[in-house]
Amino acid sequence: MRTSLIATGLLTILAATASLVTTRTQAAPPAVGAAAPAFSLEDQKGETHKLADFRGSWVVLYFYPKDGTPGCTTEACALRDNIFAFKRAGATILGISVDDVASHKAFAAKHSLPFTLLADPTKQTARDYGVLVKMLGVFELAQRDTFLIDPQGRIARHWANVDPKDHSDMVLKELLALQAPKPAG
């Protein structure tokens, strides 16, 4: 038990200082306008979700380092608090980390998260989106990046290394701007 607490504490410190000690472990993220990489992952209930399941809808796909860490909790709770605005805009929120299903289940329950958290224990989806980073040359975690995917399955926006506190409002504002009617010209 004590070893587990120490390991969790170490991972929390590492996630909080990720930008100081990380190196990208794969190619760059997909470009705006490119097709979003497909995935098939289990959620916190053990149900499988594919990106194709959301075709025709906007998707806020946010990657985060670790369940239960301060920044990840701040970001998840801010998205939770804006859930009705995202739903009114026709957007689905999906969170992804390299944690397992059990970790996601506990994290979602503890913070009453009303959206899907997807487990990427093989780290393949994080690699495909170019967000897998190695911390201190040892731990591989997802970088805190968000992709806004349009109803056609293309990357509409990408935010890298986001500030978890203000990020939900920023994504919602950009989503609404993209949906706004364009002036005839």
The predicted-structure confidence for 105-148, as pLDDT tens digits, reads as follows 999 999 999 999 999 999 999 999 999 998 877 789 999 999 99
Q: Is 72 a catalytic residue?
A: yes
Domain of residue 125, residue span? 2-179
**Annotated catalytic residue: which of 11, 72, 142, 172?**
72
The residue-averaged pLDDT of 7-20 equals 50
The answer, yes or no, to whether residue 19 has pLDDT greater than 80, is no
Residue 184 lies in a domain: no
Domain total in the chain: 1
Dmax of the chain from CA atoms? 65
- What CATH number corresponds to the domain at position 135? 3.40.30.10
For residue 96, pLDDT beyond 90: yes
DSSP 101-164: HHHHHHHHHHTT--SEEEE-TT-HHHHHTT-EEEETTTEEEE-S-EEEE-TTSBEEEEE-S--T
Look up the pTM and report it: 0.85
Residue 185 included in any domain: no
